[in-house]
Structure 1
């Protein structure tokens, strides 16, 4: 496979004039149109934006170092002139957005150019990334049968994995950035819910919905994060590992349902962090264990809120057009009463406080997903298998969403088949900047190289 440029590397080439925005955008769209099921639609004004960016560069007045860089947008996020389908055929006739979402506006002020709207699990309600309406995008590094791309931000991840763009943005309610990053050897950042302006982002579960970038490096993640907040010139500096305390949940690494290669690769990462001077504690994290139990019983807050939002669609005249697997998951939340929801919210507040007391200033280390990307054909053929694997896939990312912990999924290696494995670094709610600085140091320590 060809080596793909990082976004930071692309910015340097734009600066020295060896490439220009017009070529970048034209190439991205041409390759994207030829890549099955990755994009749902393309941005009509992207080429004009590239022409203006190239003119600014020639005139010596770029809007930022990122001016002219194309990126992909999950089709839950409004882009002016483009329809937002949320991956659902029920929205195929909706009107195009009249304006950009707030994060797109922020990125446009830096000169970045959205080239298209990427595919996803319908209504962003699955961790596996399958979509019967627009097809299922798949990575290009598998020699064997295709694997599930991870969801719900499947198209955003595959657009970066295939080198169609150097960065994409997605949403994450239960793991929808972190899981596809894990399955495809990428870096994915799920931010705390208050980090970005959510105006123009179509909701799934408003308490838990967040945004973030998918890229090939932590450095690129930090750059996109800054752009999404209108701060592209804010440089993120790595925190020396000697100043960082990590907590590894030992009970997770001993879980018999964790694939051995996933566990081995996380332990290898931990060993290398210790070698670089980091303080690493291995112990059970009670708040994490109790969060997982709370999600299993009495239920998932995200499903309750998703049902409240989508009930009119599911029970409406086009409800039978929804992906049956997504529809079944939504219907399963129909019977959860308000008293149960109130108990879940009260328990959530208690667990968030307990996690603060357990972690203090430490960074939590866990596997991102228990397993590598599963066989796509097997999931398409068996709804019961799909439901079971979907829950397993999300089981380690849902607690972070419940507790509103920012998380960075990073490649940890590969299994014996060559499929990517991933490690997840999480911090307390609102500690996003510190987490990114720590992960920059981790990336340097591990000499992470994206899987091609």
Structure 2
């Protein structure tokens, strides 16, 4: 059975005795060794994954009702602690650091569900870019284009490619400024960034304590909700709703600036489908979006908080850092406590105003990213890299800044490069947004 099937379909075949967990995991592990999966993994857990699969097969034969993820292949981003291993977070500078004493909470919860963790996935060093390039461990190629080596998106690059290639039903990643939704959009899968407080960050190597969110990507909204239920240790109380009558706000400010033609066409086509199916698509200004960059200056939350994490290490080991990551960390080194506290206060005020502006709408609707995945070689210069990084992060980061929740759904057609449709809402609105995402996914087909 291909791992590209959705979890419910796989579980139905398993329950009917038409497949085995061991065969599914074996197929994933074999696929992880193919050239198409180059640079996707930083470690493979072959024996442990097969043991989990065999345990699930034995339990099923004994009549035990299994959790949805039991015995199915799952990947975890390289920034999550695994007991006995040094958490590298896509770097080389952490070689020799003390190994983790315990699994991260996210990994613990996946193991408790019986998931077969097939490996750790590659990522942007210290999760500090939306592009997905890693100079130390190589860059996974986006599976959407077999002819041109394109970026996968980041920072959860390997997680996205593992799902897109069918090597995992769920890719555990993280999202600080878009690191789940950007690679999901560029690789043509679904990503869900929950409200930050919904999932514990214990045992995840930090980028920004203000913004980091533990979350995952999969091949459907429903599968993302399965992953979210495991990570939060409680399912969302989703009440399914018809698309007809849903009010979707499309902001004219910021989110469409510089959009490329293929992405614009894919977005407009999706909006046309949703409108035809009965959704009320409402154009709004939402001028508050233009304030994000100003409030997040000087430095930005991620550079400031990353500087606190890396201050000692980067002083002695700068040559071992990705120079582009080091440059962004440097932005936070000289920001004063006064400026940092002021940023927090201004953000809180902005969130309150945004929440007020979005009242009466079921979701905010815009492209996940305004551009298709560029070729890796086109980003060889720092200028090109940082320009692309800014474009990739711009839309998704606004929702992290809002402390909101957000889905990215594929909206491209066969033969096109992937494009993502982003549905977002305010903090704590995860269950209602999930119902919207399920309805939109069904309408898009």
Tell me the TM-score normalized by structure 1.
0.92
- 1:376 Cα offset (Å): 0.2
Alpha-carbon distance, 1:348 to partner: 0.4
Partner of 1:445: 443
Match of 1:11 in 2: 11
The answer to whether structure 1 residue 37 and structure 2 residue 39 are counterparts is yes
- CA displacement, residues 171-211 of structure 1 (integer Å, 9 cap, x when unaligned): 11011111101111111111111011222111111110002
Q: How does 1:127-166 map to 2 (within 5 A)?
A: 127-166=130-169
2:323 is aligned to 324
Q: CA deviation at 1:104?
A: 2.1
* CA distance 1:414–1:146, change in 2 (3 Å): farther
Q: Quick check: 1:156–1:168 contact (8 Å CA) kept in 2?
A: yes
Q: 1:282 maps to which residue?
A: 283
Cα gap change, 1:333 to 1:237, in 2 (>3 Å): same
Q: Which residue of 2 aligns with 1:369?
A: 369
Aligned residue in 2 for 1:113: 116
Counterparts in 2 of 1:199-210, with a 5 A limit? 199-210=202-213
Q: Tell me whether 1:378 sits opposite 2:378 in the alignment.
A: yes
- Verify the 8 A CA contact 2:237 2:431 in the aligned structure 1: no
* Residue 127 of structure 2, aligned match among 105, 124, 147: 124
Distance 1:253 1:140, change over 3 A: closer
Which runs of 5 or more residues in structure 1 are unaligned?
Answer: 448-452
Residues 117-148 of structure 1 show CA distances to partners (whole Å, capped at 9, x for unaligned) of: 00000001111011111110112231432011
**1:109–1:230 Cα contact (<8 Å) kept:** no
10-19 or 161-170, which moves further after superposition?
10-19
Is the Cα–Cα contact under 8 Å of residues 237 and 440 in structure 1 kept in the other structure?
A: no
Q: Which moved more, 1:340-349 or 1:169-178?
A: 340-349
Give yes or no for contact 1:253–1:263 (8 Å, CA) kept in 2: no
Give the gaps of 5 or more residues in structure 2. none
Residue 33 of structure 1 aligns to a residue in which SS? coil
Any idea what the Cα deviations from partners look like across 1:430-450, whole Å, max 9, x if unmatched?
111111111001101111xxx
Q: Is the 8 A contact 1:222 1:236 kept in 2?
A: no
Contact conserved, 1:127 with 1:150, CA < 8 A, in 2?
yes
Q: State the shift of 1:243 in Å.
A: 4.5
| Alignment equivalent of 2:246, drawn from 236, 244, 247 | 244
Residue 48 of structure 1 aligns to a residue in which SS? Answer: helix
The answer (yes or no) to whether the contact 2:123–2:132 under 8 Å persists in 1 is yes
User: Matched residues in 1 for 2:174 and 2:139: separation?
Assistant: 18
Alpha-carbon separation, structure 2, partners of 1:15 and 1:444: 25
1:345 alignment partner in structure 2: 344
Q: 95-104 vs 267-276, which deviates more?
A: 95-104
Which residue is 1:94 aligned to? 97
Greater Cα offset, 103-112 or 177-186: 103-112
* TM-score when normalising by structure 2: 0.94
| Whole-Å separation in 1 of the counterparts to 2:294 and 2:282 | 23
Once the two structures are TM-superposed, the CA of residue 166 in structure 1 deviates from its matched residue by 1.8
Stretch deviating more after TM superposition (327-336 or 422-431): 327-336
Structure 2 CA distance, aligned partners of 1:180 and 1:414?
17
How is 1:44-123 mapped onto 2 (pairs within 5 angstroms)?
Answer: 44-123=47-126
Which deviates more, 38-47 or 435-444?
Answer: 38-47
The Cα shift of 1:314 comes to 1.3
Q: Deviations over 1:405-435 (max 9, x none)?
A: 11101111159x7211111111001111111
Distance 2:403 2:413 in 1: 28
> How big is each residue's C-alpha offset from its partner over 1:321-360, in whole Å with a ceiling of 9 and x where there is no partner?
1111111111122232222212211110011000110001
| Superposition pairs of residues 151-190 of structure 1, within 5 angstroms | 151-190=154-193
The 2-side partners of 1:201 and 1:342 are apart by: 24
Deviation at 1:3, TM superposition (A): 8.6
Cα distance in 2 for partners of 1:66, 1:307 equals: 37
SS of equivalent to 2:395: coil
Q: Answer whether contact 2:186 2:419 (CA < 8 A) is retained.
A: yes
Q: CA–CA distance in 2 between the matches of 1:341 and 1:94?
A: 29
Distance in 1 between residues matched to 2:360 and 2:43, nearest whole Å: 43
SS of 2:371's partner is: coil
TM-align CA RMSD = 2.0
Deviates more, 1:209-218 or 1:25-34: 25-34
Deviations 1:59-112 (A, max 9, x none): 011332332111000011123344421001012333443332212222222222
Question: CA separation of 1:154/1:86 partners in 2, compared to 1, >3 Å: closer, same or farther?
Answer: same
Aligned twin of 1:450: none
CA distance in 1, matches of 2:193, 2:99: 27
Query: Residue 292 and residue 246 in structure 1: after superposition, are their counterparts in 2 closer, same or farther (change >3 A)?
Result: farther
Q: Give the secondary structure class of the aligned counterpart of 2:209.
A: coil
Cα distance, 1:252 vs structure 2: 4.2
Whether the aligned pair in 2 keeps the contact of 1:42 and 1:82 (CA below 8 Å) is no
| C-alpha distance in 2 between matches for 1:143 and 1:87 | 25
Question: Whole-Å Cα distance in 2 between the matches of residues 429 and 196 of structure 1?
Answer: 13
SS of the residue corresponding to residue 248 of structure 2 reads strand
Give the structure 2 partner of residue 412 of structure 1. 411
Aligned residue for 1:315, secondary structure, equals helix
Matched residues in 2 for 1:249 and 1:299: separation?
26
